[in-house]
A = this chain, B = another copy of it.
Amino acid sequence: MTTIGEMSEDALIALFAPRLPSTDVEVLGPGDDAAIISIDGDLVVSSDVLIEGRHFKLGWSTAADVGWRAAIQNIADIDAMGAVATALQVTLAAPSETPVDWVLGFADGLREACEPLGVGVVGGDLSSATEIAISVTALGETHGTAPVTRADAVAGQVIAVSGMLGAGKAGYEQLAAGVRVDEATVALFLRPNPRIGAGLEAALYGAVALMDLSDGLVRDAGRIAKASEVGMALDSASLPVHPGVAVAAQALGGDATQWALTGGEDHHMLAVFPTESAVPEGWSVVGVTTDDHEGVRVDGAEPTDQGWDHFLR
């Protein structure tokens, strides 16, 4: 088994780069000081870090799973502006004893996530490190719609989500407990699979606030509440909970509703629409905006569990 410490950086890049997805917007791809891509209108850009042991575990995720997650969660951030992702920059730092096959598998996962969406990996950097640290910057453009921020919701509007909640949390809890009762949610934890394009759809339907669910509904709704200076009143009975969540929660003594409220990493869209009739088909209304209170309330009460924070643990 060859490790990356046995290869030069140039040799590793020569193996790695051909596995990466390309894109129509690429003017100049990897290999020079910088890549060049064509941009139609304004550039939409977002970055996320994934650290071994914190954002993924090598014992749980294959290299391709990690590549998939790194790509999708960043592409979801571009979708969450109502924009369209076209290219990624990817940096990978890894211990010199990392197998070359791991690095190539990581590239495969990037490609599997990106290729169906027409997104290319246009550049990046490889380095040695003590632990695996990945950083992805997603680049996109607006397609005829104004970007949708988190800041323009007002009271009396409708809160909706674009997919079923809690799957990531249910998958995580099963892996953490070593108990597997629902493979679908385990698979969705390892490879989050939000419908990319739901954000653009929300923008086209007139959404006034939009973000993707990375840190859980309660915490993320709180961010719209803060940015828009509006109350977010969530109705737990109306949450679209992934069916596997109840199975896993029952087996593990958890609370399915609580997991759907606070579980992170589903990456579905959370949007505020002006009226209920503006909500696109397939989305679920989960509450309303209000000026009765600040921040987030669930069934009228302040939530005790906020969900995920990357530093406080």
A121 to chain B, nearest CB (A): 11
Q: Could you tell me the distance in whole angstroms from the C-beta of A283 to the nearest C-beta in chain B? A: 18
Q: Type the 1/0 row for A118-136, where 1 means its CB is closer than 8 Å to any CB of B.
A: 0000111111111101010
Chain B residues near A44: list those with CB within 8 A: 34-36
With A93-B133, A131-B130 already in contact, the answer to whether A49 and B139 are too (CB < 8 A) is no
Assess the B125–A135 pair: CB atoms within 8 A: yes
A49 to B164, CA, bound (A): 36
Hey, which chain B residues are within 8 Å of A127, CB to CB? Answer: 49, 51, 54-55, 310
Q: Please name the residue on chain B nearest to A214 by beta carbon.
A: B33
Q: How many copies does the complex hold?
A: 2
Interface residues on A, range: 35 or more
Of A74-82, A187-195, A253-261, which stretch is located at the interface? A74-82
User: Which residues of A (21-51) have their CB < 8 Å from a CB of B?
Assistant: 27-28, 31-39, 42-49, 51
Q: Whole-angstrom distance from the CB of A117 to the nearest CB of chain B?
A: 16
CB of B5 within 8 A of CB of A45, answer no
A12 close to chain B: CB less than 8 A: yes
The contact of A34 among B33, B55, B80, by CB within 8 Å, is B80
B130 touches A8 (CB 8 A): no
Contact A129 B131 (CB under 8 A): yes
Scoring A81, A137, A210 by chain B CB atoms within 10 A of each residue's CB, the highest score goes to A137
Query: A49-B91, A93-B51, A311-B5 given as contacts; is B43 within 8 A of A38 (CB)?
Result: yes
Closest 9 A-B residue pairs measured CB to CB? A135-B135, A34-B46, A33-B80, A133-B133, A137-B137, A49-B127, A47-B89, A91-B135, A33-B77
